Amino acid sequence: MTLRISKLTKVYDNGVKALDELTLEAGPGLFGLLGPNGAGKSTLMRTIATLQQPGSGGITFEDIDVLKDPKRLRQALGYLPQEFGVYPGVSAERLLDYLARLKGVADRKERKRLVEQVLDITNLYELRKAEVHRFSGGMKQRFGIAQLLLNNPRLIIVDEPTAGLDPAERKRFLNLLREVGTQCTAILSTHLVDDVRGLCNEMAIIHNGRVVKQGRPAEALRELNGKAWSRTIAREQLQGLESNYFVLSAHYRPDGEIEARVYASEQPGPGFEATEPLLEDVYFLALRSA
């Protein structure tokens, strides 16, 4: 269940190059795709999901040539876009039954079994008679997982799934994604580093349509051992610090001062203390080194 993307390029009619010879490989398990807004993540997800064609390059999943045989890929695909609409006045149970028919499940008993199964997996069974358009954001995202599971997908794509969710809903959703992602190749596209930390066994960081870092999160953190430093400064010192050091991030503390995190192979100056690397440090280093 390996997804391979080779030199994928996409230029829109307005001249924007969303993908620039992007190459990456993702195997079974959860794969985190990190990048800022506008990095090309959604374009890549839609292209893998066969919703748009690239200008050049190739995509294969298992033995499927995705660009030449999109119908075959769709039979193996579960897709949750960043935003999806639902019919008003339709219950979760009825809508899932309809979607199962669209996915080719003709037998009524089999559809009923599948619908009950995915409602149970997503903890929505007690709400099966409720209208989906009245669900909270987190419940709608869990319904999104339910619909993508109807065809027992071997490849799952979820695009910015936790945007707008409150902390409790976000935690429930990520725990669910962790469970379903163990049996397939699952691509999680997000700009939130916390979505990847502790969830994905592999990740890639993309910027300006290119992969600027790929590997296991734990290995990326080990590469930064001894190279992450922090120092507390006043607000007016930040500009001078950024002029003299490789500042990874700067966060306000409750007392109004700023904790600045700096990348350096040795102690960068007086007042800096060695600190444990964070995945956020890896992310900002990759973006600023690109």
Q: What is the pLDDT of residue 258?
A: 93
How high is the pLDDT of residue 182?
A: 85
Q: 64 - beta bridge partners?
A: 61
**232-284 confidence digits (pLDDT tens):** 998 888 888 899 999 999 999 888 899 999 999 999 988 999 999 999 999 99
* In the chain, beta strands by DSSP E: 3-11, 17-26, 29-34, 56-61, 64-65, 77-80, 155-159, 185-190, 202-207, 210-215, 228-233, 246-252, 258-263, 273-274
Whole-angstrom distance, CA of residue 56 vs CA of residue 49: 16
pLDDT of residue 226: 94
pLDDT confidence band for 208 (50 / 70 / 90): very high
- Tell me how crowded residue 258 is: count the other CB atoms within 10 A of its CB: 19
Q: For the chain, give the mean pLDDT.
A: 92
Cα–Cα distance for residue pair 26/29, rounded to 1 Å: 8
Nearest to 5 by CA among 152, 187, 195: 187
Return the pLDDT at 204. Answer: 97
Q: pLDDT confidence of 184, banded at 50, 70, 90?
A: very high
The answer on pLDDT for 132 being more than 90 is yes
| Residues 211, 57: Cα–Cα separation, whole Å | 14
Plot region of 164 (φ>0 → left; ψ -120 to 50 → alpha; else → beta): left
pLDDT of 222 > 90? The answer is yes
The pLDDT assigned to 6 comes to: 97
For 115, residues 6+ apart whose C-beta sits below 8 A from its C-beta are 93, 96, 97, 100, 128, 150
pLDDT digits (tens, 9 = 90+) for 19-64: 999 999 999 999 999 999 889 999 999 999 999 999 999 999 999 9
State what percent of residues in the chain have pLDDT above 90: 69
Mean pLDDT to the nearest integer, 155-170: 86
Contacts of 190 (CB under 8 A, 6+ apart): 32, 33, 34, 41, 160, 161, 162, 196
pLDDT the model gives residue 285: 95
What pLDDT score does 289 carry? 87
Q: What is the DSSP letter of 105?
A: -
User: What is the spatial distance between Cα 5 and Cα 24, in angstroms, rounded to a whole number?
Assistant: 5
Given a cut of 80, whether residue 149 has pLDDT beyond it is: yes
Supply angle C-alpha 17, 22, 26, rounded to 5. 140
- Mean pLDDT is highest, among 85-89, 90-94, 234-238, for 90-94
Of 65-74, 156-165, 215-224, least confident by mean pLDDT is 156-165
First and final CA of the chain: distance in angstroms?
30
| Residue 166: CB atoms within 10 Å | 11
Q: What is the pLDDT of residue 84?
A: 76
Per-residue tokens: 92: 């979760």
CA distance 94 to 113: 13
Cβ pair 171, 195 in contact under 8 A: no
Closest CA to 201 of 60, 28, 34, 61: 28
The pLDDT value recorded for residue 175 is 87
DSSP 254-290: TTS-EEEEEE-SS--STT-EE----HHHHHHHHHHH-
| 81, pLDDT greater than 90 | no
Pairwise CA distance, residues 134 & 192, whole Å:
27
Mean pLDDT value across residues 222-230: 95
290 has a pLDDT exceeding 80: no
User: 213 phi and psi, to 5 degrees?
Assistant: -165, 135
Q: Is the dihedral of CA 34, 25, 61, 180 positive or negative?
A: negative
What was the pLDDT predicted at 58? Answer: 97
Domain architecture of the chain: domains with CATH? 3-214 (3.40.50.300), 222-289 (no CATH)
